[in-house]
Amino acid sequence: MTSTNFRPTDTDSEAPPPAEAVAVQPSGAGVSPAPDRRRWAAFVIMTVATFLDMLDGSIVNVAIPTIQHDLGASYGAVQWITAGYVMAFALMLITGGRLGDIYGRRKMFLLGVAGFTIASLLCGIAMNPEMLIASRLLQGAAAGIMVPQVLSIIHVTFPDNEKGTVFAVHGTVGGIAATVAPLIGGVIVAANIFGWDWRPIFLVNVPLGVVGFFLGLKYIPESKAPHALRIDLPGVFLATVGLLLVLAPLTFGRELGWPAWTFVSMVAAVVVLAAFVAYERRRSLTNGSPLVALNLFKARSFSSALGLMLACFTFTGMFMLALYMYMQLGLGWTPLRAGVTLLAFAFGAFITASASVIALVPKFGRTVVQMGALGIAAGLGLFLWINGSSDGDITSWSIAPALFVIGLGFGAAATPISLFGLKDVPHEDAGSASGLINTMQQLGFTIGIAVVSLSFFTPLGSSATTSGDELAPKLRQELAAVGVPADQLGGATSAYQHCVNERYGGENASDEPADCVAPAVRDNEKAVSVLESYVQRAGAQTFSDAFQITLYTGLGFIVVAFLAAGALPRRVSAPGQG
C-alpha cells in the first residue's frame, strides 16, 4: 500500500507544485523531483535540536537534589519542574505539527528554536521554584512547536531510499540524548561551572540555540501542505483542553491527595476528546482542514504505532525518574556517578537502535520490535533479582548488566516506531501525523511520571517505617557496644526511627531532619558514626523496596508494548509495494 491508497488525492491531474512545495508532493503523484541538496545539512541542524530537546527533557532529573537544595523545592515543585516541561510539550505537539503544514515547517521550526533558547535562558537564571516552573512550561511549549517539524521535514524532504538511514540516525540520537543526559548533567553539576551549580544545564542551550537558528535559516528548505489549509481554532481548543484534563490530574493527583476534582477532570477529558473527534470528523467533511486528519487512523501502521509509542514511553518516563531518585536519594550516589552508571543503558541502546532500522526491520519486520520488548522484560527481570537479593548493597557494576540488557531491548523496540508510523502517511499530513506520534511519546512520559507517584513515591512512607523498625534492634545493640548508656538507648533509637520516617517517607527526601542524632549521644563520636551509617542503610533499603514495586509495574507496561507490537504490519513495505 502506498502513502496515498487510503487517502485519495487529485495531485496526478495537477501541474507540478511550486518550488517551495516540491518536497511535500505525495509519493504517488507521478512526479519525482530531485532531492534538495541542502537536506543533509538541514538534517544535522534538526538532529542537534532534537538532541537538545531530549536532553532537556531528561537532564533535569539528575540535578533534582541540587535544585531542591538550592531553591528549597518540595516534591510537588519537583514534579512541576520535571512533568511541567513534558506536559506543555505534549499539549503543543498536535497544534505545532499542523501549524507547520499550514504556515511552513521551517518557519515553525525556527520559531520553536527561538522560544526554546529564550526559555532556556530564563530557566538558567531562575531565582525560585516558581520562576523555574514557569520557564520550564515555556520551554516545553516552544519544544512542542519545534520538534514535530523535524519528522515532517524528514518525511517530505528525503527520498524513500534514504528514509531508513535518516530515521535510524534520528532515533539513535534521540535515544542517546535521553540516556546520556544523566552523565552530561552529572558532569555539569559536579564541575560547578562559575559556581552556578545546576544552572549551566539550561544555559548551555543558549549559544547552541542562537547558532542553530541562523544555520536553520540558511540550510533548512521550506515546505508546507500543497493544498491551502486553515488553522482549526476550535479543534486546537478542544484538543488542548482534553489533553490538559488528562495530564494535570495524572501528574499532580498524588501530591494533592487525589481530590475529587482529579477524577472529575479525567471523566470530563473523555467527553471533551469525544467531542473533539466528532468535530474533526465533521470538519473534514466540510472544508477539509481539520487539526487531525482522522483518515490517518485508517492505516494500521499508524494507529498501532501510536499505541506502541504510548506503552514504551510510559515505561521509560516511569523507570528513568524512579531510577534517578533511587540512585541519588536512596543510595546516596552523586549525580556524576548516577550518570556514568546509566551509560550501560546508553551503550545497549546505541548498539541496537541503528541496526534495528537499517538492517533488521526491513528484513524481519515487527519481530524486531517484539524481540526488543522481550529484551526489556529480560533486563527488568535481572534487575528485580539483583535488587531483591542485595539487601540494599547496590553498586554501579552490579546493576550495569541489567541496564545494558534493558538498553538493548529499548533500542530495538522504540527506534523503529516512527518508521512504522509514517509508512503510509500522505506528505500533506506529515505535520499532523508527526505531531500525533510525538504527542503519544510525551503523553507516555507524563503518564510514566504520574505512575511514579503511585509505584514509587507512595510506597516510600510504609517502606521507611518498615526499614526503620527492622534495623532498630541491630542499631540498639551496636549503640550499646560503643558505650551508649542503657537509659539513653531508647531515646537514641526512637530518634533514629523518626529520622528515617521524616527523611525517606516525608515530603522532601533531600531535607535532613534535625533530630537524626539524639542530643544525649551527640558527644559520642562512635555512636554518631553508627547512627549515620544506619540512616544510610535504612535509606537504601527503603528506596530499594519502593523501586522493586516500580520494576514490577514497568514489566506490566512492557507486556502491553509487546502486545501492541503484534498489531504492527508484519513488514515495512518497500516504496510502491502493498
pLDDT of residue 19: 34
CA 527/CA 484 separation, integer angstroms: 7
pLDDT of residue 555: 92
pLDDT of residue 114: 93
CA atoms within 13 A on the CB side of 214: 5
H-assigned helices in 125-193: 129-157, 160-191
CA 348/CA 350 separation, integer angstroms: 5
Cα 564 to its chain centre, rounded Å, is 19
For residue 117, give the H/E element and its range: helix 105-124
Among 57, 66, 327, smallest CA distance to 193 is for: 66
Find the helix packing angle between 396-414 and 160-191, rounded to 10°.
150
Contact 69/195 with Cβ under 8 angstroms?
no
pLDDT of residue 35: 67
pLDDT of residue 227: 67
Where in the chain are the domains? 23-231+289-459+544-565
CA atoms within 13 A on the CB side of 562: 15
* Cell numbers that stand for 198 in this block: 545546576
- Report the predicted TM-score, pTM, of the whole model to 2 decimal places: 0.73
Amino acid at 423: K
Q: Which residue has the cell 518498615?
A: 466
Q: Residue 66 contacts by C-beta under 8 Å, 6 or more apart in sequence?
A: 189, 197, 198, 335
Each of the 578 residues of the chain gets a pLDDT tens digit; together they read 333 333 333 333 333 333 333 344 443 334 445 666 777 888 888 888 878 777 776 677 677 778 887 887 776 677 778 778 877 887 888 788 778 888 888 899 999 999 999 999 999 998 888 899 999 999 989 988 988 888 778 877 777 777 767 776 776 676 667 666 667 777 777 777 887 888 888 888 899 889 889 988 888 888 776 665 677 788 888 988 988 898 788 767 766 777 889 889 999 999 999 998 888 888 877 766 777 777 777 777 788 888 888 899 899 888 988 898 888 888 888 777 887 888 898 888 888 877 777 778 878 888 899 999 999 999 999 999 998 887 667 889 999 999 999 999 998 888 888 778 777 766 666 666 777 777 787 778 778 877 887 788 878 778 888 888 888 888 888 888 888 788 878 888 888 888 788 777 655 544 555 556 777 677 777 888 888 888 888 888 888 888 999 999 999 999 999 988 888 878 765 333 33
Find the helix packing angle between 430-452 and 75-103, rounded to 10°.
170
pLDDT of residue 80: 79
* Cell numbers that stand for 169 in this block: 540516525
CATH code for the structural domain at 23-231+289-459+544-565? 1.20.1250.20
Cα dist. 504→81, 340, 467, 490 in Å?
21, 24, 10, 21
Region of 222 please: left (phi>0), alpha (psi -120 to 50) or beta.
Answer: beta
What is the dihedral angle through the alpha carbons of 441, 447, 450, 456, rounded to the nearest 10 degrees? -80
pLDDT of residue 24: 40
Among 196, 145, 158, smallest CA distance to 431 is for: 145
Angle, alpha carbons 128-134-140 (nearest 5°)? 130
CA 336/CA 363 separation, integer angstroms: 40
Q: Residue 417 contacts by C-beta under 8 Å, 6 or more apart in sequence?
A: 305, 308, 309, 312, 369, 437
Q: Is 574 exposed, middle or buried (0-12, 13-18, 19+ CB in 10 A)?
A: exposed
Q: How many residues does the chain have?
A: 578
